Amino acid sequence: MPWLPDDDRFLHRALELARDASAFASPNPAVGCVLTTATGDVLGEGAHLYDLRDHAEIVALKDVAVRGHSPYGATAYVTLEPCSIHGRTGPCADALLAAGISRCVVATADPNPSVHGRGLAKLRSAGIAVEVVPASSEIAQQARRLNDAFAFSIVQGRPFVTLKAALSVDGKLAPPPSQRSAEAAPHWLTGPAARADVQQLRHTQDAILTGIGTVLVDDPSLTDRTGQPRRRPLLRVVLDSHLRTPPTAALFREATILRKQKPEYGDTPNTSDLLLFGTAGADSAALTATGADVELLPELSPLAVLKALHRRNIRSVLLEAGSRLNAAFLRAGLVDKLVLYFAESELGPDALPFAVGGPSPFAIQERLSNATRATFPHGDSEDIRITGYLHDPWAAV
């Protein structure tokens, strides 16, 4: 069938539903679905919420029934290819066939190699008219960006890593350690608007990761302070080889014991929203007594940590760290996306670099694909945000 005038509108609505539910979908992808009549009347709609199990197509079909309609002959607009395998639920492609839909418009194929293309083939073989949006279109790109982390982690077997840094105009991360201390007021390079944007970035992530150096110098809490609801708390992760994190750190004052908060929370082994990684042989007694999770690894390499987080169903990691950890992840090729905020102030040659012994932020910008620029007011000046990819999360799809 040809592309219809309302197709864009209903796909954008499905994307809106998926986006609104994205903080409730991980470790599954965020998906939205709209069911309409052939004349463009909405019959039902819905999005996937992990805890409620039903995929977006099933939620939409149930909404059709609640509204007293029939889905027979309907068009289904879905942001991600309907699944064709049994997982926590039955195949959505089968459910759409059983409902008697006549057409399905899909924003992007499923990146999961065990599913990719099979749901579309099942619908087509049953005589359903299937339209897949061209991958280069704006709608397809929006649908993909919404599930970058899922697409990447399902293929690569590790979380998708976004490195975020606030930098001076001369590319420095912070004043020298001699000029900073955990007792002093925070040294903010960027203004309130850019810092609020960082909180929105945190809200989209499964985990935030830093190193013991940042904890000892800055004493951060590393929380999601948007106030917006989410399915599971932001997992705060510290790489601390010898487990030197003081039990009085702000991290522990903000800790949430998940087994008490949500007894049915069973899709990851986390019992706290605070996780510390140390090396084998480190004494973890003092920190586990605080209620934090501690995992000891044979080596504390970036890849070993990411693999351990993947085993905990963590799809996305926001790296907010110091120069050494930034450099370690960059050298290992384990940074997939960069979000850099530049303030107009200078810190000078003695300030901490973006990545000690690694590339400057200006050099690494040259390697970014799909780079975008945004500005945020900061007094009489403005902060600049540069966002781009070092690895395409959908390259294998």
pLDDT in tens, 8-46: 999 999 999 999 999 999 999 999 999 999 899 999 999
Helix axes 92-99, 118-125, angle to 10 degrees: 20
Residue 266's pLDDT is 46
pLDDT in tens, 66-81: 999 999 999 999 999 9
Q: How far is CA 209 from the centre of its chain?
A: 13
pLDDT in tens, 271-314: 899 999 999 989 999 999 998 999 999 999 999 999 999 999 99
Residue 291's pLDDT is 87
Residues 39, 36: Cα–Cα separation, whole Å = 8
Q: What's the mean per-residue pLDDT of the chain? A: 92
**Adjacent-strand bridge partners of 321:** none
pLDDT in tens, 54-68: 999 999 999 999 999
Evaluate if residue 263 carries a pLDDT over 50. Answer: no
Q: Confidence band (pLDDT; 50, 70, 90) for 265?
A: very low
Reply yes or no on whether 57 is catalytic. Answer: yes
Q: How far is CA 219 from CA 235, 254, 328, in A?
A: 17, 12, 21
* E-strand stretches of 228-368: 235-239, 274-279, 293-297, 316-319, 337-342, 352-353
Q: What is the DSSP letter of 257?
A: B
DSSP of 155-198: HHSS-EEEEEEEE-TTSEEES-GGG--TTSPP--SS-HHHHHHH
Q: Specify whether the backbone of 366 is left (phi greater than 0), alpha (psi in -120 to 50) or beta.
A: alpha
Range 139-156 burial, b when 16+ CB lie within 10 A, else e = bbbbbbebbbbbbbbbbb
Evaluate if residue 227 carries a pLDDT over 60. Answer: yes
**Catalytic option among 57, 131, 264, 346:** 57
Evaluate if residue 253 carries a pLDDT over 90. Answer: no
φ, ψ at 173 (rounded to 5°)? -90, -40
Residue 133's pLDDT is 95
pLDDT in tens, 81-97: 999 887 788 899 999 99
Give the Cβ contact number of residue 110 at 10 Å. 26
Segment 314-321 shows an average pLDDT of 98
Q: Confidence band (pLDDT; 50, 70, 90) for 180?
A: low
Lowest mean pLDDT segment, chosen from 50-64, 118-132, 167-181: 167-181
pLDDT in tens, 181-217: 555 556 789 999 999 999 999 999 999 999 999 999 8
What tokens were used for 328?
Answer: 């370690």
pLDDT in tens, 92-111: 999 999 999 999 999 999 99
Percent of residues, the chain, with pLDDT higher than 70: 94
Segment 142-150 shows an average pLDDT of 97
Q: How far is CA 314 from CA 74, 87, 175, 204, in A?
A: 36, 18, 32, 12
Evaluate if residue 264 carries a pLDDT over 50. Answer: no
* Cβ-proximal residues to 7 (8 Å cutoff; 6+ apart), any chain: 77, 105, 131
Q: Are 312 and 270 in contact (CB under 8 A)?
A: yes
Evaluate if residue 1 carries a pLDDT over 80. Answer: no
Burial class (CB in 10 A: 0-12, 13-18, 19+), 333: exposed
